[in-house]
């Protein structure tokens, strides 16, 4: 099904990359993959907002969970506002990219046929089909140390340690699965802590992906679309052990600067060549396989547990097309 959808997409109108109304095929392929990524992000942020964000007409759906909202606000007093605004932003991102694709004669991306995963049963969540699964996450927290290290960078083949080893070793909920998850208190806080680290995992991954793919685009307008920033919101996650499943959140301030919670991200590191002075950058910046690496990271995160093979086939072909794009093609 996914392969058929991709095969039937419209070709983008050719453009010269300067100021023409059309896009190169490569630019369209990159934007289509990013539109899919933004739709996926919108789906997961809407689930967070329904239970932990500010409830208003600006972001549709959900009625909120006061207990979960209070738990995520332990991480930051404005976390409910952050969740709400991130959700609103993601809705605008995929809507804009799809509209831009359509305006250039390229097919927009629609993943509605894959909205089949179950919702949380906790009070406050909508009971609708989802694209993503926030109840069995395996969160890669090596981003934390990657953005703090001054001597290592994935562009040089370096592998950074996990800030929260337990989160990368199991499957844990980042939202209450039902009202039963609202207690005991340390269990609910562990769920909120997981969400906090997942927020940063998602946002830093997207921000790294955009400049990586930006190096491959041709059209100046597309380059402007692919420039973004991010911020960290996991830093105040309190140390604890979840009494229901043994998930351990260590004291991040106990082991020195690499995991210290009050430092900004990103800290300076090596860039382009180890002979140069260190500099604060979003990393990695390597473009080869960037889209596929992003898809693999989201899959390893557990977001797509329960999705059918057609879903993975469709996203894989979008990612492969984006990775095959080259400047001028």
Q: How many residues does the chain have?
A: 329
Say how far apart CA 205 and CA 249 lie, in whole Å: 22
Mention every residue, 6+ apart, whose C-beta is less than 8 A from residue 217. Answer: 26, 27, 30, 223, 226, 325, 327
As given in the structure block, the two tokens for residue 148 are 């703090």
Residue spans of beta strands (DSSP E) within 113-201: none
Q: Kindly give the pairing relationship between strand 248-249 and strand 268-269.
A: unpaired
Domain-wise residue ranges, the chain: 2-324
* Prediction pTM value: 0.80
Dihedral-angle region of residue 263 (phi above 0 means left; psi in -120 to 50 means alpha; beta otherwise): beta
Write the DSSP symbol of residue 120. Answer: P
Give the single-character DSSP code of 267.
P
Instruction: Give every CB contact of residue 97 below 8 A, 6+ residues apart in sequence.
Output: 31, 34, 35, 38, 108, 225
Assess contact for 293 and 284: CB atoms under 8 A.
no
pLDDT by position in tens, the chain (length 329): 233 333 333 334 444 443 335 789 999 999 999 999 999 999 999 999 999 999 998 888 899 999 999 999 999 888 998 899 889 888 888 888 898 899 889 999 999 999 999 999 999 999 999 999 999 999 999 988 888 888 988 889 999 999 999 999 999 999 999 999 999 999 999 999 999 999 989 988 877 788 888 888 888 778 767 765 555 556 678 899 999 999 999 998 887 777 777 555 566 678 667 887 776 565 666 667 889 999 999 999 999 999 999 999 999 999 999 999 876 65
Please state, in angstroms and rounded to a whole number, the distance separating the CA atoms of residues 32 and 95: 12
Q: How far is CA 323 from CA 31, 212, 217, 274, in A?
A: 11, 10, 11, 26
Residue whose C-alpha is closest to residue 150's, from 139, 160, 164, 163 = 160
Q: Taking Cα atoms as reference points, which of 111, 49, 24 lies closest to residue 298?
A: 111
Helices (H) then strands (E): counts for the chain: 9, 4
| CA atoms of 138 and 296, how far apart (whole Å) | 12
- Can you give the C-alpha Rg of the chain in angstroms? 20
């Amino acid at each position: 099904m996914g392969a058929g959808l991709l095969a039937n997409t419209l070709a983008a109108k050719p453009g010269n990359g300067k100021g023409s109304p059309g896009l190169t095929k490569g630019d369209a392929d990159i934007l289509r993959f990013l539109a899919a990524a933004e739709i996926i992000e919108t789906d997961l942020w809407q689930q967070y907002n329904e239970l932990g964000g500010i409830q208003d007409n600006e972001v549709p759906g959900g009625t909120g969970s006061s207990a979960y909202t209070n738990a995520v606000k332990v991480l930051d007093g404005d976390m409910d506002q952050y969740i709400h605004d991130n959700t609103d932003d993601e809705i605008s991102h995929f809507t804009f990219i799809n509209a831009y694709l359509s305006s250039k004669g390229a097919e927009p991306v629609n993943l509605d046929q894959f909205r089949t995963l179950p919702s949380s049963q906790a009070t406050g969540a909508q009971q609708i089909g989802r694209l993503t699964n926030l109840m069995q996450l395996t969160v890669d927290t090596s981003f934390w140390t990657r953005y703090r290290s001054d001597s290592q960078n994935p562009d040089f083949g370096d592998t950074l340690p996990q800030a929260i080893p337990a989160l990368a070793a199991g499957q844990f909920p980042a939202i209450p699965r039902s009202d039963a998850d609202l207690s005991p208190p340390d269990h609910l806080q562990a769920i909120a802590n997981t969400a906090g680290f997942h927020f940063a995992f998602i946002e830093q991954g997207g921000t790294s992906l955009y400049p990586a793919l930006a190096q491959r685009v041709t059209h100046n307008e597309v380059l402007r679309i692919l420039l973004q920033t991010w911020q960290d919101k996991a830093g105040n996650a309190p140390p604890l052990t979840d009494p229901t499943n043994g998930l351990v959140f260590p004291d991040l301030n106990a082991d020195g600067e690499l995991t210290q919670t009050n430092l900004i991200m990103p800290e300076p590191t090596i860039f382009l060549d180890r002979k140069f002075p260190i500099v604060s950058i979003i990393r990695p910046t390597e473009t080869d396989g960037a889209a596929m690496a992003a898809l693999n990271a989201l899959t390893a995160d557990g977001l797509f547990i329960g999705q059918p093979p057609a879903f993975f086939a469709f996203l894989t072909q979008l990612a492969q097309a984006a990775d095959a794009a080259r400047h001028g093609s």
